[in-house]
Amino acid sequence: MRDNLKFMDDLAKLAKAKDFARLAGVKDFARLAGGAAQSLGALRGQVKALVNGFLAEMDLVTRDEFERVEALAKKARERQVALEQRLAGLEKKLSPAKTRATKRTKK
């Protein structure tokens, strides 16, 4: 966090300078650029830690867990379709026999 403040101070100094000639030269600019890179790296690490903490609290599943459950669901759905087709075939076979049996009992 302190690096971020130093970077902002350096950036403010640069903004106050009427031109780059007031700066000591390339060394100041390099220091400013290095501070910016360092600050951005630190900021990126802080944001990543915050996001990871937030996601951990949300009790989300991992990609591997999701893919395993997805595969199980797909397999179960395929089995359900196969069983529905099998049941329809058995009902079709049973239907004509049932019709004949009801006609015989009505006579």
What is the distance between the alpha carbons of residues 82 and 89, in angstroms, rounded to a whole number?
11
Q: Residue 23 corresponds to which amino acid?
A: L
Shared domain for 49 and 69, answered yes or no, is no
29 and 50 in a single domain? The answer is yes
Number of domains in the chain: 2
What is the arithmetic mean of pLDDT over 51-78? 92
In the structure encoding, which two tokens stand for residue 56, read together?
């951990």
Measured distance CA(84)–CA(86) in Å, rounded = 5
Other residues' Cβ atoms within 10 Å of the Cβ of residue 29 = 13
Q: Cα–Cα–Cα angle for 58, 64, 65, nearest 5°?
A: 60
CA distance 33 to 23: 13
20-49: per-residue pLDDT in tens? 555 556 666 666 666 667 777 788 888 888
What residues make up the domain containing 107?
63-107
* 95 & 79 share domain: yes
Percent of the chain scored above 70 by pLDDT?
A: 56
